[in-house]
Every structure is written in C-alpha cells, then in structure tokens.
Amino acid sequence: MKNTIVVISLSACSNPLRPVYTAYEDFQQFDPATCFDKDQAVQYLKSQGFEILPIISARARGKMTLETYMRFARQILDRIPTDGSVAGCLLYLASGMVVDEIGNGDMHLIPMIREHVGYDIPMAIPMDFHGNMPFSVLKSCNIITSFRTNPHMDVPITQLRAVQLLSRAIHEKALPENRAVVIPFAIADSMTCAQGAGHKINAILNTLETLPGVWSANLITNMYWSNNLNTQALLTISCDRAAAPALEDALLRASQEIWALRDAFISINERAEPAEAYRIAAQYPGDGPFFVDDAGDNPTCSATGDSAYMLGLALEMNMQSTLVAGIWDPNFTALCEKAGEGAPVSGKIGAAIDPHSTCIEVSGIVKKLRYTADGAVDGACVVSGGVTFTVTRISDMHPLYAPLNRTFIESFGENVMNYRVVVLKLGYLLDDFVQVMRGCRIAFSPGACDLNIQRLSQQLTGIRRPLYPFDPDTVFEPHMV
C-alpha cells in the first residue's frame, strides 16, 4: 500500500523590482532528516500512520538565475521516489519565487513535481495569501489552504488544515480539484484581516466552506509589486470533482461580494507621507518610542533594505532622539570599521546594492561596532546630531541575517526605549514593538515595496491592466477560469 508522503519546503520570496540575486550557497538549507521534527503538520501525518520522506527545506530572499533554480528543481525531483510508494505530496511554498527567463519559479516547479509523481495522488499546498500563483498552476494540485491573518499568526493552523485534508483525500481515495475566479484588484501587505474588508472576506470564505463538496476556500491576494501577469486576486475553492459545476454560481456571487469590499481594507497601522510621519512622531504625546515604518524599503517583502531615504529626511528635519535601524551598506560599514569606535566617519550611505535606492552623504561618530562570533565586524551604530542609525555589512538573504526586531537593535547596544522616534524597515509593527509603542505610522517611503500607487505604477510594466487601484475605473465581470 502507498504510505509515503513527500514533504518539500522551498521558500524564495523575491521582488522583481529588486536587483539582488540569491546564489545556491546563500540559501539556508536545513537537514531533511530533522528539519520537520517539530512541524505540527508533519507530526499529524505521522500520527495518522504515514511515513514521511523529507525532500528539502531551504529558504532565502532574492531573485534567482535559471541555473540556480534548476539546481534546486533537479535536487527535488531526484529525491522523490518513482517506485509507486508515494501516497501524497505536501508542498510548503512561499509562492513568491522570481527566476530569470521564466518569471515565477513556483509556476514551473509545481507542474514538474506533478508530472514526476503522477496524476493519481493528492497534492496539498498551504500558502501565503500574498503569493503570486496563476490558477493554471494551482490546477496541478488538489488542495489549497491559505493564511487568514495578517500579520500571519495562523501559519501552523493553515498547514495543519492542509495535511488534514491531504490525509482525508488519501484515505477516501479522492482527488479534489480547484475552481477559481480572478478578481482584478491587488492590496498592500500592510492590510489587516481582523477588521474591515479582511474580516468580512474571511466570513465569506467560511460560508463557502459550509457548502456541500467544498474542502477549502481561499483568497490569494498577490502583491502588486510582483510586477507580473498574476498580480491580481484569486478566489479559489478546493472541492469534490462531482460537486464543482454546481458550486460555480456560489463562487461567482462570492467574488462579487469581495469585489464590493475593495475600498474597505484597513491598514494594520495608520499611514502617512514620510515627512508627515516624522512631524506626528515628534509631537505625539505619551511615553515610549513612536515607530515609523520605512515600508517602501521593507526587506520582509523582499525590498533591498539599502535605502537611506528615511535617514536623510530625519537629518534634514533635524529630528531629535531618533533611531534609524537596519540600513544594509557594506561600504559604509567598512568605513566605520576603518574609523573605529569613538572616531568620526564620513561618506556615502545607501544605494550600495540597488541603484534606485536613495544615497546620501553623512557624517557622524562611530558609537559601536558589532562583531560576529569569529571576530569580524558586520555592522556599526553611528550618531549624527540627534539621529542614531545602524548599518550592516550583510543582507537579509544571508544566513547570518537577523530580522528587524528588538534583539537585532540590542545587538548594536541600543534600546528602543531610549528613543522618542524609531524608524524600522518593516511593513507593519511586530508584537515586540507594539507592546512598547507610544504610536506608529507606516511611511509611504520610496522603494521596491512602495505604497504610493502613482509612484510605483511607473515601475510596474508587467502587470495585467486594468487593475484596481491602479485603474480606478476597473470593471469586474466575474467568470470562472
């Protein structure tokens, strides 16, 4: 009896507006023998009597060359047995892979895996609803579950839902199929699912899942800076094949309900133009830091993280008691290392990697150098007037990279509680910042993840038009795809 489930985890989120490439060696690759030992979904499958065959667990950020991508593809396919023992496939994909010459890497990887394992075994994909996945590819799998929260607090639950349905499909010898409607809008990463349109959409999805024959219902919103033809929302259901035709009317009605909510999305944190965000922060009453998110250069959405725009603006506005955290610039880091702690340093910072990023001239005093475990300088903290800023030698795609949280800031000897204003390269605040904040604004800063629609639209040459909100007069005529 077929009893093996192969598990594949390949996360390579990227942004086509970012020029940085990720080499094969840049990926964090975990030991397949142990990497899923604490995975709740995989442990559930084991409890159901399945044998787990981990194929790969690797992650990074940044675009890939076709050569790097094919190296991973061959590695995956070579490890999947073809002796008839495979009962099902579980794919952990971030759905944001960008590859030279072919575009969306997931779009090609999923059909390759399907062809390799055959068409008579179920395949499940738990995924980020910000993924960029055309429906033609999702037809290659049987079960889709997507996140329902933003920030994504339901990753384990979403993965567990996927494997419960996968186990069901195997035991029932069922092969659900996916049906979908394309909805021509895209939303920003900073939108919440707890209020407004996000909350109402979850209610619509829950209603769809009560219909006979529906296994799961999902809205995949995509990211508009993905700059490809898949940049549009996709309402999809995984359902019994026999029930699929009868469910089309309900799916079409649900798509119209969601389209009607396109202006009702609520941002996780309030937004403002960068200078206005600084003015609000300087005057905002209360104790604790006021956080300003440099959303346009947000590495968690695969921006480069090397823009000095918010730093330059803080200096220009003579901001006081302000910390600007997380600029990636190996060249300025080297200048700080050469100067040494306590010494003056001057030079250009920003746009060290992405020529579209903002570069400024800055002078200050090296407050602290940060060292790796082997004694190498990998970052610095610099004071310039009333502004303190941190700079790092390595990027967010590097295995040593630490995300922008309080631990990261403390690694430079700094504490957010010592500042009135703290600037972070994030799209929205993480919990450890929310707990201590005086206030917050998401800044419409320029960059690869720009939230300024008019400015960003000048760079987006690959999206399918018309697309709301870029084209306010977009007309939606729902139809099945």
Q: Which residues lie closer than 8 Å to 397 by C-beta, 6 or more apart?
A: 20, 22, 26, 60, 61, 62
- Amino acid letter at 460? L
Structural tokens at position 421:
């204003």
Question: How far out from the chain centre does Cα 428 lie?
Answer: 12
CA angle (222 as vertex; 90, 128 as ends), nearest 5: 30
Pull the structure tokens for residue 211: 């219909």
Q: Is 463:222 a contact under the CB 8 Å cutoff?
A: no
Across the beta sheet with 233-239, the strand order is: 177-183, 233-239, 214-220
Note down pLDDT in tens along the chain; length 481 residues: 589 999 999 988 788 887 778 899 988 899 988 999 999 999 999 999 999 999 999 988 788 999 999 999 999 999 999 999 999 999 998 777 889 998 888 889 999 999 999 999 999 999 998 877 778 888 899 999 999 998 888 999 999 999 999 999 999 999 999 999 999 998 877 888 889 999 999 999 999 999 999 999 999 988 777 777 777 899 999 999 999 999 999 999 999 999 999 999 999 889 999 999 999 999 999 999 999 999 999 888 878 899 999 999 999 999 999 999 999 999 999 999 999 999 999 999 999 988 889 999 999 999 999 999 899 999 999 999 999 999 998 764 443 444 578 888 999 999 999 999 999 998 888 788 989 999 999 999 999 888 888 788 888 888 888 999 989 999 999 999 8
Q: Tell me the pTM.
A: 0.92
Q: Exposed/middle/buried for 437, CB within 10 Å: 0-12, 13-18, 19+?
A: middle
CA neighbours within 13 Å on the CB side: how many for 118? 11
Q: Is the dihedral of CA 119, 125, 130, 131 positive or negative?
A: negative
Tokens for 92?
């952990």
Place of tokens 């997380």: 326
- Roughly what angle, to the nearest 10 degrees, separates helices 40-47 and 155-172? 30
Dist CA 245 CA 139 (whole Å): 15
* Residue 340: how many other CB atoms lie within 10 Å: 11
Q: Return the DSSP state at 289.
A: P
